[in-house]
Amino acid sequence: MRMSGRGLAFAGVSLAALLLTACQSMPAPKFGPGPPPLMGAKKTRTLGPAPIKGADVRFSFATLNGVPADMRFALQDDLKKYAASRQLVLVDAGDPTAVYDVSGYLSAVGGDAGTLLVYVWDVTDPRGTPLYRISGQETGAGVSGDPWQGIQEDAIDAAARDTIDKLADWVRS
């Protein structure tokens, strides 16, 4: 089917309008007064039971990037502390004896009304097959500027405790 000159002109104008509309930036959401909204309950997603369980399980945590050094070191210390209390073995990133690799991220979001520490961990086997996901959030103080300034040690500690508790439950269930 062949389009007439007017049909081509209409199609061209319509396409241009669509492209211009798609390029418009959207304003950031406004939370209003009060703390930032919570994402919901802490969650885990499993693709089934842990394939390997018991005392031989060793977890290797990947290094986190983009997290202030003091927070990263505090998290590492807290993960080790809670792992020892739950009889889990943590090994250095890349250790060939690791049964499971754990990688993820921490993010601080918020503003004057409150801050959230959001964390997500993905557990894989050494070949990279996804097996388990942990996610959660902890609240912090409101700050203007860098949201990491609103995250205190107790939020990092709670995130580490929740992470280790969920890993321990997963490999023992």
What pLDDT is recorded for position 110?
A: 92
Establish if 103 belongs to a structural domain: yes
- pLDDT value of residue 2: 54
Q: Mean pLDDT throughout 119-132?
A: 96
Within a domain: residue 25? no
CATH number for the domain that contains residue 163: 3.30.160
Compute CA distances 101 → 3, 59, 159, whole Å. Answer: 58, 6, 18
Q: Compute the distance between CA of residue 101 and CA of residue 128 in angstroms, rounded to an integer.
A: 8
Alpha-carbon gap, residue 109 to 155, rounded angstroms: 13
Position 5 scores a pLDDT of 54
The percentage of the chain sitting over the pLDDT mark of 70, rounded to a whole number, equals 73
Contact 150, 139 (CB under 8 A): no
Could you tell me if residue 58 is inside a domain?
A: yes
Residue 48: pLDDT band (50, 70, 90) is confident
* Position 24 in a domain: no
pLDDT of residue 43: 57
- Find the mean pLDDT for residues 149-158: 96
Instruction: Give the number of other Cβ atoms within 10 Å of residue 87's Cβ.
Output: 10
Instruction: Indicate whether 46 pLDDT > 50.
Output: yes
State the CB neighbour count (10 A cutoff) for residue 172: 13
* Most confidently modeled range among 99-103, 112-116, 140-144: 99-103
**pLDDT attached to residue 56:** 87
Whether pLDDT at 29 is above 50: no
Query: Helix or strand or coil: residue 112?
Result: coil
In a domain, 28, yes or no: no
* Domain of residue 79, residue span: 36-172
What sign does the dihedral 75-80-83-84 (CA atoms) show? Answer: negative
Give the predicted TM-score (pTM) of the model.
0.74
Tokens of 2: 């062949």
The per-residue b/e assignment along 33-60, b for 16 or more CB within 10 angstroms, e otherwise, is eebbeeeeebebeeeeebeeeeeebebb
Q: Could you give the number of structural domains in the chain?
A: 1
Within a domain: residue 161?
yes
Above 70 in pLDDT, residue 114?
A: yes
> Residue 160 and residue 96: Cα distance in Å, rounded?
23
| Position 4 in a domain | no
Does 2 fall in a domain?
A: no
